[in-house]
Structure 1
């Protein structure tokens, strides 16, 4: 169930969100209208009510329900359209605020369970709709509350005008209100637990997603440049501390500009994703880290891997790309890579990148579609050696 709610909150269009709010709120309003209307036709209940206020409240609720119906009919055909609907969203939120505020006035702000409903629908509204619309709807409802309270204090309106003085005699109104309030309270506790559960789940989901997006390249799904070089710094420090081998592979897609010029940039993006999939397929997860560090430039970080191991990875990548054709406009082609590989011997991160880039340029100078690999060792300046001694 939580997965269904999460998927809806992530993928629902503004129209679908408005329709859901209408579907959730309408049963409450219909129940209020039905109970009040039934009270007018039962003699024992009728004595406890003030018909003119009950009828006026039903007119307000009926108007809100009519607006709901028109809104759903207007949105239903294009409910999958992702276009924002700010005015419609505000209208739905405002109608919800007016409807429940009307019920609270009718039965009394302090004795009627509509207050609990109002408190419950605000966080639900924030989950389903946008914050701005809910704030506007809540502000409209609270303004009605303020007007109602001022009218009561000024003696212009009785408290709970929907009930006659007989309803308060002998505590009957209080008993009825307590029963109703207790019922709504128990339902609200369950609702609040569900709301809190969903809200924390949404928080965790978005936090995890944002964290992943901050580390990943949007086009290929590999690590982005920032995350890759941050990890490179960490692995270089670890390599100098432990002495374990560490290799860096810098990669460039051969003649990528020609692919863009011949087949278009969309096909170029397909090629980049294909290369990324091949790189990811031959990695040890989560130790190895493939990344896109530029337009058609990739890199692989291979912790605890010596030069021979890095060359084996490069050969597997080359072999996979040779058997991966790309198709466009009835034509097929394959892609080759130039790769520069360095095994680090206590190299600083910037020096490791420098040597790997130099090997990459050598590979391109030798005609591309080749690998140039070396082992490089950090050479400390004499002053540094003397200071260490």
Structure 2
């Protein structure tokens, strides 16, 4: 059962101090005037909590630090589950984080395809052993695919877009594309929580925890993963990148979309795509940026041929600097951009490549 309390900011809230009810961008920053201390309500060592750690084989993603920070506010008995093949450094690093009591590696999950069915079965098999009070993941492509499956199997709701944790059973979630916030109280015995990306991270070291293999459920699904390799460069992941170059429907074809990689390589940037570009087959869904796809918060976002509908802007609004390049001066992206270039993208791309090579 879920109890809901909605809080919708009025126009005046954008000019007055709203710290009384608006959640912080940092999951660790709880309301200063709250009369109840979260530490006094944390579950402690009695109940085990699971965190789904995401990584790029060599390192964990910054958002994994966020969900660890949130988990520590709920329990000091955290079991970290790592999907896919990774090197020992990732597991060892996570085993030293504060509050982590055990690290489980699930190498039956393919890194390239992330077969959701296999990982769902692994999480459920682990839950049978540990009887988790909470299962927490991040609002990434993997998290939004796997955790709702887990919640459905456990017959509980998946609580999405969480931006703050008030008590072990009370959470604040973002709704209406971030224009309002909802406080919900979850009464179910297992709480499946999906934390919104783009929050500040925290880094706390603790004692060394044991590293073990996760249980493998019998009769795993046979999943074939089909790869779509766009280029041979080693570019950062969308969730990690400090710079993101995003292509929209204005690119008109997958061949033109590939031209973004020439600029991305020069800037060491990740490449993203709008829903329009993905729906038209210019790029794979794993590159989709927006409320439906991956939410990002890079230092620099460059939108090329991106109109900028609400779904996409919601996914990039936490970017430090937004640059829009579009021949349509009325494109919605210009309204939120810090810098705008009104220019045909097919003229802008060669110019941008020339400037990067010679300056």
> Greater RCO between the two (CA within 8 Å, min separation 6)?
2
**Could you state the TM-score of these two structures normalised by the residue count of structure 2?**
0.18
Bigger radius of gyration: 1
Q: Which has the higher helix share?
A: 1
**Could you state the TM-score of these two structures normalised by the residue count of structure 1?**
0.17
